[in-house]
Amino acid sequence: GSCPGKVSIRIADSDIDFHAEPGDPLLRAALRSGIGMAYDCNSGGCGSCQIELVEGEIEDIWPEAPGIGARARKRGRLLACQCRPLSDCVVEARVEDRFRPVVLPQRRSVRLVGFRPITHDLAEFTFASEDGKADFQPGQYAMLAIPGVEGERAYSMANLANAEGQWSFVIKRMAGGAASNRLFDEREALEGLELDGPYGTAYLREETPRDIILVAGGSGLSPILSIAAGIARSEKLAGKRVMVFYGGREAKDLCAARQLDRLFPDGHRFEVIEATSEGEEGAWEAGASRVQYKGFIHEVLAAYLKENALDFGGFGYYFCGPPPMTNALLRMLQLEFNVPEDQLFFDSFL
């Protein structure tokens, strides 16, 4: 039919079933129902949400999505985040507790209520929802739909859950990026914005025996600010040592130390280490209490831990940034230093 109504989805070999609203991607319908269907990026990129259709009719929203190879696709596999059920369906899908949403994601109308430039290409945008709800875990993200821009973009929240319905995001202006340019250049005129969330499993875990390392580059600052705020107010994490590593290309990209100072006007206990991969060493202002380095941030992190005789396995790591950064860091922590997977928290939608 041209306008299907609510359909029901059953997961094969289980007693799990749920409903999907017309037009809602299969993955989001599952998560909205509190079902822990495996996923990560929600954007067609990572491949974590692969499923197989056993029965029924499904529309593939993005047949070229990079999260699935041509061979898997030929065998009938699909990305749950990039397909919409058109009829009642039975699917084979991975369901695990760790993917079960802590807060059920919802779609809501929002309007822009705040804009604050941070660097030459980063700014904080704050949106307010009409229903006054902003419930999420530090480190989670939401999908933003901007009228006139195709698809949605995943942005991590920079603030904490609040009763004012405010969702803040540090967003980077991308060269040629339709969404970010629209947000930066036409923000006064934007109407009809929709925010769907929260999503993401890289959120702050307060039950941990370990110290904490946060690593970011670019707009990866956003979740790191939220997680830092979450750590600061957590009684369970009060005794933990926390290090924040932030990498940029040049001095003008660095902003973590300043943003943390702004977030905690009465001071904080975080060790902040910023580094640039290019530009001249020492060519920028050195904050008195900051350790500043030259190099890629994963190399700087390794050097810093070694210098301080710290055990790589003694930390939980939260990281977010451009894929070359997060990939290099992930490889290093896993292959070189054998940090177990369950101590690594990151998003892969950037």
Which chain residues interact with ligand FES by CB under 6 A?
Answer: 39-42, 44-49, 67, 79, 81
For residues 193 and 146, is the Cβ–Cβ distance under 8 A? yes
- C-beta of 37 vs 255, nearer to ligand FES: 37
- C-beta of 79 vs 229, nearer to ligand FES: 79
Tokens 């065998």 correspond to what residue? 75
| Shortest separation between residue 31's beta carbon and ligand FES, angstroms | 10
Mapped to the 3 state alphabet, what secondary structure does 110-171 carry? EEEEEEEECCCCEEEEEEEECCCCECCCCCCEEEEECCCCCCEEEEEECCCCECCCEEEEEE
Report which DSSP code applies to 304. Answer: H
| Shortest separation between residue 69's beta carbon and ligand FES, angstroms | 12
| Shortest separation between residue 16's beta carbon and ligand FES, angstroms | 18
Measured CA to CA, the distance from residue 340 to residue 337 in angstroms comes to 9
Query: Nearest-CA neighbor of 158 among 262, 312, 297, 50?
Result: 262
Cis check for the bond before 105: say yes or no (omega within 30 of 0). Answer: no
- C-beta of 248 vs 321, nearer to ligand FES: 321
Residue 30's alpha-carbon distances to 39, 62, 80, 152, 185, in angstroms, are 11, 19, 9, 18, 35
| Shortest separation between residue 10's beta carbon and ligand FES, angstroms | 20
Measured CA to CA, the distance from residue 346 to residue 317 in angstroms comes to 8
- C-beta of 94 vs 258, nearer to ligand FES: 94
- C-beta of 44 vs 218, nearer to ligand FES: 44
| Shortest separation between residue 81's beta carbon and ligand FES, angstroms | 3
| Shortest separation between residue 343's beta carbon and ligand FES, angstroms | 22
- C-beta of 84 vs 229, nearer to ligand FES: 84
| Shortest separation between residue 89's beta carbon and ligand FES, angstroms | 17
| Shortest separation between residue 190's beta carbon and ligand FES, angstroms | 27
Measured CA to CA, the distance from residue 284 to residue 254 in angstroms comes to 10
- C-beta of 78 vs 244, nearer to ligand FES: 78
- C-beta of 62 vs 115, nearer to ligand FES: 62
| Beta-carbon contacts of residue 311 (< 8 Å; ≥ 6 apart) | none
Measured CA to CA, the distance from residue 275 to residue 115 in angstroms comes to 26
Measured CA to CA, the distance from residue 165 to residue 136 in angstroms comes to 11
